Amino acid sequence: MNQDIINGRQIHWFPGHMAKTLRLMETEIRNVDCVLQILDARIPLSSLNPEIERITEGKPHLYVLNKADLADPDITRQWLEYFKSAGAGCLPMDSKQRGKASAIKGPIEKELAALMERRRNKGMVGARIRVMVVGIPNVGKSTFINSFAGTTRAKAANKPGVTRGKQWITVDDYDLMDMPGVLWKKFDTLETATNLAFIGSIRDDILDIEELACGLLSSVRAIYPSQLLARYKLDESALELPPYELLQAIGAKRGMLISGGEVDTERAAKMLVGEFRASKWGRISLERPPHPVEEPEWEEDSDAAQTDQPS
């Protein structure tokens, strides 16, 4: 198991079955025409698995910004532009809506146009389109497949690690391969690790729920302060409180007290994390696209301009 530190705690999030899934992906990639990497629209970059990128490199590839119904629509639009400018096909999605995921057929068939043309020329009518659906745990891969199929075909639930082992699901002329969710061994930043924890891709039972709630309060109050204040009926001064005191203030407001009048912070933390994930705080995007690097303007008359000229 791999371990790292989130908020000063050592956690293990890369169990053996994830390593096994990565190996399975390496074998199965040869058997598919196309890869759909499902991302979480609230954290598109943190949820983009570099190991999956490595394994699926060279295969036609599309991205789905899933749970877009929980994300800030303006930020999701910016992300779509970001992916487009990087030349990557990307679609926003609410997989809870039955049938909606079949909107991916158009982009897939466009992506596979050359392959389909070759198949037609060879007279391979009725050849099936094989798609591997991959992504981090709990991002909504199985729900996406169910939406694509228009009916429940794959087991889905609100916790990571539901799908175990690959499963082919046949829908019309498509074969979709549902895969278990995988993380990777070394997160590049603490922010990536905490974002993954916030959205529920790392098992809560290996995390400290109070630290998780405090981290979430810190992040969200910096970007959506009014939504937080409105949800918990707080006045603006609450934004200045250290996160743990803010957690206590919210617990007190909700009457979550234990004997002696102290706030039951664990209960308050569970409530907060649960409400965030259920989008009770409103539609929130925790990550914004990086700004494009601005090219320095060319100054005709500057000394640098003269000395940099090729002779």
Ligand X SMILES: Nc1nc2c(ncn2[C@@H]2O[C@H](COP(=O)(O)OP(=O)(O)OP(=O)(O)O)[C@@H](O)[C@H]2O)c(=O)[nH]1
Decide: is 180 part of the binding site for ligand X (CB under 6 A): yes
| DSSP states of 36-66 | EEEEETTSTTTT--HHHHHHHTTS-EEEEEE
- 157 or 304: CB nearest ligand X: 157
E strands along 110-224, which residues? 129-135, 167-171, 174-178
CB of 161 to ligand X, least distance (A): 5
Amino acid at 31: N
DSSP string, 114-130: HHHHHHHHTT-TTPPEE
From the CB of 67, what's the least distance to ligand X, in Å?
Answer: 4
Pair 227, 220: CB distance under 8 Å? yes
Partner residues linked to 135 by β-bridges: 38
Could you say which of 163, 192, 201, 265 contacts Mg ion (CB under 5 A)?
Answer: 163
Cα first-last separation, the chain: 58
Q: Which residue is listed with tokens 């295969």?
A: 59
The torsion angles phi and psi of 170, rounded to 5 degrees, stand at -95, 125
Using the minimum distance from each CB to ligand X, give the nearer residue, 45 or 249. 45
**Selected range binding Mg ion among 43-51, 156-164, 259-267, 297-305, rule: CB under 5 A:** 156-164
Provide, rounded to whole angstroms, the least separation between the CB of residue 226 and ligand X: 22
With binding defined as CB under 6 A, does residue 66 bind ligand X?
Answer: yes
Q: Does 219 bind ligand X (CB under 6 A)?
A: no
Give the one residue of 60, 92, 160, 251 binding ligand X; rule: CB under 6 A: 160
**List of residues contacting Mg ion (CB under 5 A):** 141-142, 162-163
**List of residues contacting ligand X (CB under 6 A):** 66-67, 69-70, 93-96, 135, 137-143, 156-158, 160-163, 180-181
